Amino acid sequence: MLDLATLLREKYEPVIGLEIHAQLNTRSKIFCPCPADFGAEPNANTCPVCLGLPGALPTLNQGVPEKAAFAAFALNLRINEVSVFSRKNYFYPDLPKGYQISQYDQPFSVAGYVEIPTSERDETGRPIAWRLKRFRIQRMHIEEDAGKSLHEGMPDSANSSYVNLNRSGVPLVEIVSEPDFRSSWEAYDYVQYLRRALLYVNACDGNLEEGSLRCDANVSIRRRGSETLGTRTETKNLNSFRFIQRAIDYEIARQIRVIEEGGRIVQETRLWNEREARTYAMRGKEEAHDYRYFPEPDLPPLVMSAETIAALRAQTPELPEPRRRRFAEDYGLSLEDSTLMTTTREAADFFEACVKAAGGQARAAFNWIANELLARIPVEKLSLATSPVSPAGLAELIALIADGTLSNKLAKEVFEQMLTTGKPAKAIVQALGGGQVSDAGQIETIAAEVIAANPKQTAEYRAGKTPLFAFFVGQVMKATKGKANPQVVNEALKRLLDAP
Ligand code: ADP
Ligand code: MG
Ligand code: ZN
């Protein structure tokens, strides 16, 4: 059998489609007033509706379609003016009703896409070459979450399982992509972007560890050049970006091996085991008809008028990818730099406020934020509200460099003090005894003194030992306590030393 890389290049093409469950960050659950927050005492956030007691009736939380609408705009989905809730029937110990309220043939929204940068990665995980690619999204529907079964880590888990229904009835959207991904890294870049976009519109808190974003990966392979889809497997509940990427790669390699050995892929649901870095068959894949979907009789159709949709659309902020492109064009940032500055909406707002306050000096604003500020604060945490240095404060510092008051070296010292004391740049410069000395006459006097005090080095330099130039620069800097403008120092020393 040829090696995997060759087989992938010459014979097989992976095809991947993703189903992502995102928890909408409403305060209460979808069909009852129980709190939807994570981490309460087991079963504390429950009532007859989300416990699934007979006769309890659901009523739709109006915050849910609103959040779902923002999620739809973030992914360029078209919202259906009428969508219908359906019962999806199945048995699970953490699903006491025996069905999940979901949407089926009339979903909330359809026909979306994202067009985003994506790249393969080398062995060290570094991007190789970015390009823009469009990934289509089939649909996004609204549904409720089920509870959670615990089989481990409880007092007598050897003999028992535990059920926690706090999550039962938490609002979710399921975002179903077209099978448009051709590698695990394309899938990875898509999920990263999706999280970013949902955070921008404040529809989801994006917390993967707490299960706010869960991914099922459908993977198949086919002969290169073929248009028909191969048989797929579905790997469930991947809750980290790296797991998604690694589980897909594992599954691609496994399927190629099976086919090369003359076997057949069975359509099935698989589970990723991170410790063993492999997937396991869990069960045969169920078909839609197994669920006996029918319209939910206890809820009316969900109506979103054209006016409501337009009003919500008008409140949608600029999305991360359009904003990234604007940053690249207007401020001359590279793809990596514009991606960094749009990591969160707050970071992007911070950067733009700084550029504006600095009179359009985008490069300087970027350098100070990326190299200095982000060395102290992770970019996800950068915001106007909490940054120890404000955009206007940073802009003042940039202005002091531009007008020659501060050298880059001095500016770093001032910045350090801005961070620790919270004082403005000008006040710190004053306390340090003024800024950089740029006065050519003053510097020339000092340079002349330095030359006079060092006749031996002067003679050697003039005899051709030019690396000694740095020695003279150092002496002038010492004499001025590092405040002399280095460029002016260089010019003065050149003039005096090179003069016959
Ligand atoms: P189900 O709801 O039964 O999981 P869907 O037809 O709704 O099935 O597809 C679910 C996901 O699987 C979608 O993201 C779709 O793009 C993807 N998908 C469908 N067929 C394939 C295939 N042959 N290979 C890879 N992905 C696929
Ligand atoms: Mg599915
Ligand atoms: Zn409840």
312 in a structural domain = no
Nearest ligand to residue 182 Cα:
1
User: 314 exposed, middle or buried (CB, 10 Å; 0-12, 13-18, 19+)?
Assistant: exposed
Q: What's the pLDDT tens digit per position in 132-177?
A: 999 999 999 999 999 988 887 777 767 788 899 999 999 999 999 9
Q: What's the pLDDT tens digit per position in 180-205?
A: 999 999 999 999 999 999 999 999 99
Candidate from 133-142, 322-331, 359-368, 491-500 with smallest mean pLDDT: 491-500
Q: What's the pLDDT tens digit per position in 380-404?
A: 988 888 888 888 889 888 888 887 7
Helix H segments across 301-376? 306-314, 320-331, 335-341, 345-357, 362-367, 374-376
Q: Which of 283, 307, 331 is the last residue of a domain?
A: 307
Q: Is the dihedral of CA 476, 482, 484, 488 positive or negative?
A: positive
Instruction: Mark whether 337 and 297 lie in a shared domain.
Output: no
Instruction: Mark whether 74 and 192 lie in a shared domain.
Output: yes
Largest Cα span, the chain? 104
What span, in angstroms and rounded, lies between the C-alpha atoms of 326 and 302? 36
Residue 141 CA to ligand 2 center (angstroms) comes to 12
Nearest ligand to residue 19 Cα:
1
Residue 166 CA to ligand 3 center (angstroms) comes to 8
Q: Is the dihedral of CA 377, 196, 236, 210 positive or negative?
A: positive
> How many folded domains does the chain comprise?
3
Q: What is the model's pTM?
A: 0.86
Ligand 1 pocket: which of 105, 135, 176 to mutate (most atoms <8 Å of CB)?
Answer: 176
Is the CB of 252 inside a 6 Å radius of any atom of ligand 1?
no
Residue 466 is classified by DSSP as: G
Instruction: For the chain, give the mean pLDDT.
Output: 90
What span, in angstroms and rounded, lies between the C-alpha atoms of 213 and 24? 10
Nearest ligand to residue 233 Cα:
1
Instruction: Mark whether 300 and 337 lie in a shared domain.
Output: no
Residue 33 CA to ligand 3 center (angstroms) comes to 6
Instruction: Mark whether 145 and 223 lie in a shared domain.
Output: yes
Is the CB of 176 inside a 6 Å radius of any atom of ligand 1?
yes
Nearest ligand to residue 181 Cα:
1
Instruction: Mark whether 382 and 295 lie in a shared domain.
Output: no
Ligand 1 pocket: which of 18, 19, 238, 252 to mutate (most atoms <8 Å of CB)?
Answer: 19
What span, in angstroms and rounded, lies between the C-alpha atoms of 330 and 474? 40
Pairing of strands 12-23, 278-284: unpaired
Closest CA to 341 of 382, 309, 310: 382
Q: Which of 382, 401, 431 is the last residue of a domain?
A: 431
Instruction: Mark whether 205 and 229 lie in a shared domain.
Output: yes
313 in a structural domain = no
What span, in angstroms and rounded, lies between the C-alpha atoms of 269 and 219? 11
Is the CB of 16 inside a 6 Å radius of any atom of ligand 1?
yes
- The residue assigned the tokens 């059998």 is 1
Is the CB of 178 inside a 6 Å radius of any atom of ligand 1?
yes
Closest ligand 1 atom to the C-alpha of 219? 25
Domain that includes residue 372, residue range: 318-431
Instruction: Mark whether 239 and 357 lie in a shared domain.
Output: no
Instruction: Mark whether 400 and 335 lie in a shared domain.
Output: yes
Residue 27 CA to ligand 3 center (angstroms) comes to 12
Instruction: Mark whether 95 and 244 lie in a shared domain.
Output: yes
Residue 147 CA to ligand 3 center (angstroms) comes to 12
- Answer with the residue of higher pLDDT: 36 or 413: 36
Q: What's the pLDDT tens digit per position in 210-234?
A: 889 999 999 999 999 899 999 999 9
Residue 239 CA to ligand 3 center (angstroms) comes to 25
Helix H segments across 87-183? none
What DSSP element (H or E) covers 192?
A: helix 184-200
What span, in angstroms and rounded, lies between the C-alpha atoms of 126 and 455? 54
Going by C-beta distance under 8 Å and a sequence separation of 6 or more, which residues neighbour residue 160?
154
What span, in angstroms and rounded, lies between the C-alpha atoms of 212 and 204? 7
Q: Give, using CA atoms, the residue closest to atom 2 of ligand 1.
A: 288
What span, in angstroms and rounded, lies between the C-alpha atoms of 239 and 216? 9
Is the CB of 203 inside a 6 Å radius of any atom of ligand 1?
no
**What one-character-per-residue DSSP string does 473-488 give?**
HHHHHHHTTT-B-HHH
Nearest ligand to residue 248 Cα:
1
Instruction: Mark whether 92 and 152 lie in a shared domain.
Output: yes
| Radius of gyration, CA atoms only, the chain | 31
Closest CA to 320 of 24, 23, 22, 73: 73
Q: Which of 388, 411, 431 is the last residue of a domain?
A: 431
Candidate from 401-410, 429-438, 480-489 with smallest mean pLDDT: 429-438
Residue 235 CA to ligand 1 center (angstroms) comes to 11
What span, in angstroms and rounded, lies between the C-alpha atoms of 111 and 113? 7
Phi, psi of 458 (to 5 degrees): -65, -45
Strand pairing partners for 173? 22, 142
Residue 20 CA to ligand 2 center (angstroms) comes to 9
393 in a structural domain = yes
